[in-house]
């Protein structure tokens, strides 16, 4: 019990220090907010849907996550189009990636859970639902 109290005090002091350093404060608070939302116990995930987008060039597709149904940052620039935010993570580290502000008509919803999409991305495309089913069948034989 004393270890828990000790480490929670260290974490609290470290947090206070990080929140006082100008540049680090901005980055730290953004990461903290994203982490709290992404790993919260609530039903609403930061990743709303799994989508495919043409990226990084025409004819190639990437799997991404719809993170916002409406992008208001670009409304003045692209007033005639409905823009959404899509996060395309990189493999094998899905915490880095690309934020695409893309016309809604250019996204293609996929029939895939967020969990499976992450597994597919982290494995570099190797781990698929079919492969997992096949491995389970081989183990059960």
Q: pLDDT > 90: what percent of the chain? A: 27
Q: What is the mean pLDDT of the chain?
A: 81
The C-alpha atoms of residue 21 and residue 63 are separated, in whole angstroms, by 36
The C-alpha atoms of residue 41 and residue 27 are separated, in whole angstroms, by 23
Residues 76-116: pLDDT tens digits? 777 788 999 999 998 877 778 999 999 999 999 999 888 88
Asked whether the predicted pLDDT for residue 124 surpasses 90, the reply is: no
Structural domains of the chain sorted by starting position, each given as residue range(s) with its CATH number in brackets:
3-138 (2.30.30)
Are 102 and 53 in contact by the 8 Å Cβ rule? The answer is yes
Asked whether the predicted pLDDT for residue 10 surpasses 70, the reply is: yes
Q: From edge to edge, which strands make up the β-sheet containing 61-68?
A: 97-103, 83-89, 61-68, 49-54, 107-109
């Amino acid at each position: 019990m004393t270890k828990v109290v000790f480490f929670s005090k260290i974490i609290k002091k470290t947090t206070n220090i990080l929140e006082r350093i100008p540049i680090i404060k901005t980055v730290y608070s953004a990461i903290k907010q994203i982490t709290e939302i992404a790993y919260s116990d609530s039903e609403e995930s930061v990743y709303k849907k799994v989508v495919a987008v043409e990226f990084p060039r025409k004819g190639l597709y990437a799997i991404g996550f719809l993170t916002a149904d409406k992008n208001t940052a670009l409304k003045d620039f692209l007033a005639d189009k409905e823009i959404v935010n899509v996060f395309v993570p990189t493999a094998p580290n899905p915490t880095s990636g690309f934020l695409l502000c893309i016309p809604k008509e250019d996204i293609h919803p996929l029939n895939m859970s967020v969990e499976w999409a992450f597994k597919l991305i982290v494995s570099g495309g190797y781990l698929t639902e079919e492969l997992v089913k096949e491995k389970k069948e081989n183990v059960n034989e």
